[in-house]
Amino acid sequence: MKSSQKLREKHLAQLNFPSAKTRALATNLANALPATDLASKIALLGELLRDPARFIEHQRLAPLAKALLAESGQILDSQEIELGSPLPFRAFGRQHIQQAAFEQMREAMRLPVAKAGALMPDAHVGYGLPIGGVLATSGVVIPYAVGVDIGCRMHLSLFELPANHISRHKQQLARILQDNTRFGLEGEFDKPFDDPVLESALFQELPILKKHHKKAARQIGSSGSGNHFVEFGNVHLVESPHLPGLAAGQYVGLLSHSGSRGLGASIAQHFTSLAAQLVALPKAARHLAWLALDSEEGQMYWQAMRLAGDYAQANHQHIHRRIAKALGIKPLATIENHHNFAWLEQHGGQELVVHRKGATPAGKGTLGIIPGSMSTPAYLVAGKGHPDSLDSASHGAGRLMSRADAKARMAPAVLRQELEQAGVVLLGGGTDEGPHAYKDIRAVMQAQDELVEILGTFQPRIVRMDG
């Protein structure tokens, strides 16, 4: 569709839509109409406004007609889609998963579009789908089953440096982390970085992306708050055919965890709101509203999601390039993976949309990194391609308690003492991200030995977080 023929909210000025919700819905639905010029779209919406009941069965505009009738009090709100009995799913490490997260996954498996699912041992309650939940659907994508921090990822650089390099150069390495990282809401560099991802035509073609382009440009190369980090650590690798060119032994590693920053959050919120307008679900499942992949809305989300994933990857690449330059040495190898994403994959002879919200892709031989906490190991793994997990594994240890509980249960001085005993220097961060707030990563890894093979460990030594 030519951009000149796209309907914008400004074109609705002469039409008396009663709310922002119906204006936004009218814009999106009208643009999905096949081969209709701008004037025809406006005329059709005018007819709908005059007599919405006439459009109640319209193939494309029925949701708008129902919304208008509901706002005028002529009918109850759009009829909710009925949920079925939950499909069976495998919960790996069930003993580590709270009942609330398990029930949340059961609710997702009641969706009429659900085809398969799995729960990872790090799972805990999230919005819509639990963090650590994997959900496969047919023909639709669910924005909140992807998550808010779209394309959040892990990135590991391996350097051929002596095993004692970190202990001998702690102050220098801490300064390198401080100088070359930015975190949180105000995380920006004085001089923004150029990157090809910022030149994507989608930033001009999709209004939601165009609106956030300047902020994305300012934040590129930075990290989020919460559990996001950049850290130096000691790496031990075993000999493995999955790591060609890397001998077993000790390395210095740089590990980062972050995502698509404000860009991904804005995409998630926009398209979740749009999906909720198009698909009426019971209250308990409302965050799981979907967009059909063959609709314009679904394709817009899919493209925006992929761009957010590319943007998240670019953030990590800038971080690792800057720090490698400051170290004066090039990495031997880099390994990365992301979560909070949806993939089109073949499972059971069907093409399915596989949502991994806080879950690591673990197809046979696929490399990934599963972190613990600021003082416990991260694991370099190769997937085993287990069909019951939909080729997935956990994305970390998983939270054991909320941030508020974690703060209440440990004083900062006690955390500092624990980290000192573990040989960890913490720059920023707080007790809400302390090791006590997380499940035991060793137990989580044991619970998923069917899913991944451990190729190495990363022991944090200098940890940089927000704050």
What is d(CA 194, CA 366) in angstroms, rounded to the nearest whole number? Answer: 30
pLDDT for 76 equals 43
Strands (E), 125-278: 131-137, 140-141, 153-159, 229-237, 249-258
Strand partners, 250: 236
Are 328 and 429 within one domain?
yes
- Which candidate, 264, 240, 423, places its Cα nearest to that of 338? 264
Band (26; pLDDT cuts 50, 70, 90): confident
Neighbours of 309 (CB within 10 A): 23
Residues 303 and 428 in one domain: yes
State the DSSP code for 94. G
Please indicate, yes or no, whether residues 206 and 326 belong to a single structural domain of this protein.
yes
More confident residue, 420 or 2: 420
Backbone angles phi, psi at 206, to 5 degrees: -105, 120
Token pair listed for 223? 């990290």
- State the CB neighbour count (10 A cutoff) for residue 284: 13
Spatial distance between the Cα atoms of 420 and 415, rounded to a whole number of angstroms: 9
- Which helix (H) or strand (E) covers residue 119, if one does? strand 114-124
Percentage of residues in the chain with pLDDT exceeding 70? 97
Q: Are 91 and 100 contacting, i.e. CB atoms less than 8 angstroms apart?
A: no
Amino acid identity for residue 462 in this structure: I
- The CA-atom distances, in angstroms, between 436 and each of 92, 266, 409, 425 are 22, 31, 9, 17
Average pLDDT over residues 39-58: 83
Indicate whether 58 and 160 sit together in one domain: no
pLDDT tens per residue across span 173-184: 999 999 999 998
Mean pLDDT of the chain: 92
The single residue listed with the structure tokens 């493995």 is: 240
Q: Tell me how many degrees the CA angle 364-368-373 measures, rounded to the nearest 5.
A: 140
Average pLDDT over residues 142-159: 97
The closest alpha carbon to 291, from 145, 156, 167, belongs to 145
Q: Are residues 52 and 186 in the same domain?
A: no
Q: pTM, whole model, 2 decimals?
A: 0.85
Task: State pLDDT tens for residues 387-414.
Answer: 999 999 999 999 999 999 999 999 999 9
Task: Tell me the CATH number at 166.
Answer: 3.90.1860.10
User: Shortest CA distance to 261 belongs to which of 189, 309, 193?
Assistant: 309
Which CA distances in Å does 175 have to 233, 257, 319, 326?
A: 15, 19, 14, 10
| Residue 15: predicted pLDDT | 81
Question: Has residue 77 been placed in a domain?
Answer: no
Task: Establish if 33 belongs to a structural domain.
Answer: yes
CA-closest candidate to residue 104, choices 144, 138, 133, 63: 133
Residue finishing a domain among 71, 96, 128 = 71
Residue 148 lies in a domain: no
If you average pLDDT over residues 37-64, what whole number do you get?
83
| Backbone angle region of 429, left / alpha / beta, with phi > 0 → left and psi within -120 to 50 → alpha | left
Contacts of 339 (CB under 8 A, 6+ apart): 147, 152, 153, 356, 357, 358, 359, 360, 361, 395
Domain for residue 123, yes or no? no
34: number of Cβ within 10 Å: 7
**Range of the structural domain that residue 187 is part of:** 153-464
Q: How far is CA 275 from the centre of its chain?
A: 17
Contacts of 463 (CB under 8 A, 6+ apart): 229, 231, 374, 424, 425, 426, 427, 429
Domain boundary (20, 41, 71) is at 71
pLDDT of residue 34: 73
Residues 57 and 157 placed together within one structural domain of the fold: no
379 and 265 in one domain? Answer: yes
- Length of the chain, please? 467
In this structure, the strands spanning 114-124 and 131-137 are antiparallel
- Phi then psi for residue 66, to 5 deg, are -65, -40
H or E stretch including 25?
Answer: helix 20-31
Is 33's pLDDT higher than 60?
Answer: yes
Contact between residue 7 and residue 41 where contact means Cβ atoms under 8 Å apart: yes
Give the chain's radius of gyration (CA, Å).
Answer: 24
Q: How many domains does the chain have?
A: 2
- Residue 50: inside a domain: yes
272-275 contacts, C-beta under 8 A, 24 or more apart:
272/143, 272/144, 274/24, 274/25, 274/28, 275/142, 275/143
Angle at 23 between CA 20 and CA 27, to 5 degrees: 140
In a domain, 229, yes or no: yes
C-alpha dist (Å) from residue 168 to 62, 78, 158, 162:
68, 65, 18, 10
Whether residues 60 and 197 share a domain: the answer is: no
Task: Tell me: do 55 and 172 sit in the same domain.
Answer: no
Q: Per the domain annotation, does 104 fall within a domain?
A: no
Q: Which of 259, 463, 321, 260 is nearest to 378 (CA)?
A: 463
Tell me, yes or no, whether 45 and 164 share the same domain. no
Residues 327 and 192 placed together within one structural domain of the fold? yes
At which of 49, 71, 93 does a domain end? 71
Instruction: Let me know whether 185 and 46 are in one domain.
Output: no
Q: Does 225 map to a domain?
A: yes
Most confident of 38-52, 56-70, 239-253: 239-253
* Tokens 């300047």 sit on residue: 214
Kind and range of the H or E run holding 443: helix 441-447
pLDDT for residue 319? 96
Instruction: Note the pLDDT tens digit of each residue in 335-386.
Output: 999 999 999 999 999 999 999 999 999 999 999 999 999 999 999 999 999 9
> How far apart (Å, rounded) are the C-alpha atoms in residues 48 and 61?
9
Distance CA 333, CA 369 (A): 14
